[in-house]
Amino acid sequence: MRPPWVVIPFYQKRPGILPRAVSSALVQEGIDDVRIIVVDNLSPVAASVDLAELVAAHPGRIHIMTCSRRGPGAARNAALDSLPSDVEYVAFLDSDDEWRPDHLRHAVEALSHGFDFYFSDFYHLGQSVSAFRRAGRLDPAQHRRLRANAAYYEYVGSMFNQILTGNVIGTSTVVFRRAPCHEIRFEEEYARAGEDYLFWLEVCARTSKFVFSSSVECQYGEGVNVYSGSGWGTEGSLERTYCEVKYLKAIANRYHLTGILAEDNRRHIRRLRRYFVADILHRLLHRRSIHPHIVLRQVGQDVWTGILFGPLVLAILWSSLRTRWAGGGAVTR
């Protein structure tokens, strides 16, 4: 069995984060000679500098390449394009996350039962309850255990529906068989929303052989993240909302959703539409900058955003007035 190749996109502003991720891949139990591709995505901290000691200590096992395109998907694509033709398994790990020592051994063992795609439970940053338990979207008891006393389960049901209604796949826990997925790439225009989901959905179009582990095998860490820095009121929030709407509309057009999936998609778009308009009003009220191009792009892809703007302005003004009256004239911020 050839060892998996590990793909790590890298963009960090602080040194010392990447070596922890790489070290966690190097010390995997029962997997000899793991190879790692680190793709430096024009990082302020150079991967070659941050990994100098590890590269010297593990000659031939760590490969560093540079990608001039921005975003983790673009970096992963560059790595996937460069893999040797005989690579059997590929694993994803983000540069601020760390694997438990048994992750790859569990993945390869589970995949050896005829499966093509593996993922596991994990801890989000700062959490003591695992992602599966917190989300409540994946009950191992509803799936088929591969063998007694093992934490591996064959996913039973439609993974396509699972991804769209409540994704349970953590990117840094994914290990997949390359053969059925060798043509799939991350769609870089969805870097701020949906590029991972679109990759998983394309995998679903090629195989239904998914297997997962209920064991926690990865700890998510703190580093640069395109999502965490684009929440409500931040400079990136309008861009992120626009990208999420774009992703949802692409899903609806590409896969011709019906029934509950179609309604769920429309509901999410309606929610994001209101969020986008409310964000604009929040910025106007607090005299924060608004880039007209993002507003025009959003209205261009979703005309109902423009139509909603008028009624929502009135609703927010009415709510503001009621709050002022209830507070005896004080304005609540």
Q: What pTM does this model have?
A: 0.87
Give 43-85 pLDDT, tens digit per residue. 999 999 999 999 999 999 999 999 987 889 999 999 999 999 9
Q: Could you say which of 167, 187, 219 is where a domain stops?
A: 219
- 164/293 same-domain check: no
- 211/257 same-domain check: no
Domain assignment present for residue 228? The answer is no
Q: Domain with 69 in it: what CATH number?
A: 3.90.550.10
Query: In the chain, what percentage of residues exceed pLDDT 70?
Result: 89
pLDDT band at 306 (very low <50, low <70, confident <90, very high): confident
Residues 6+ apart with CB under 8 A from 245: 269, 272, 273, 276, 298, 301, 302
- 169/245 same-domain check: no
- 155/287 same-domain check: no
Record the tokens describing residue 50, joined without a space. Answer: 């941050």
Q: Which region among 10-19, 31-40, 293-302 has the lowest average model confidence (pLDDT)?
A: 293-302
Q: Could you say which of 191, 219, 247 is where a domain stops?
A: 219
Q: What is the reported pLDDT for 256?
A: 87
Residues in the chain: 333
Please state the φ and ψ torsions of residue 181, each to the nearest 5 degrees.
-115, 10
Q: Domain residues for 54?
A: 5-219
- 285/192 same-domain check: no
Greater model confidence, 331 or 171:
171
Neighbour tally for 79: CB within 10 Å: 22
Q: Could you say which of 161, 188, 219 is where a domain stops?
A: 219
- 17/165 same-domain check: yes
Domain assignment present for residue 333? The answer is no
- 210/246 same-domain check: no
Give me the mean pLDDT over the 255-274 stretch: 93
How many structural domains are present in the chain? Answer: 2
- 199/273 same-domain check: no
Quote the CA–CA distance of 38 and 185 in Å, as a whole number: 17
pLDDT band at 333 (very low <50, low <70, confident <90, very high): very low
Record the tokens describing residue 302, joined without a space. Answer: 């979703």
- 166/135 same-domain check: yes
Give 111-150 pLDDT, tens digit per residue. 999 999 999 999 999 899 999 999 999 999 999 999 877 8
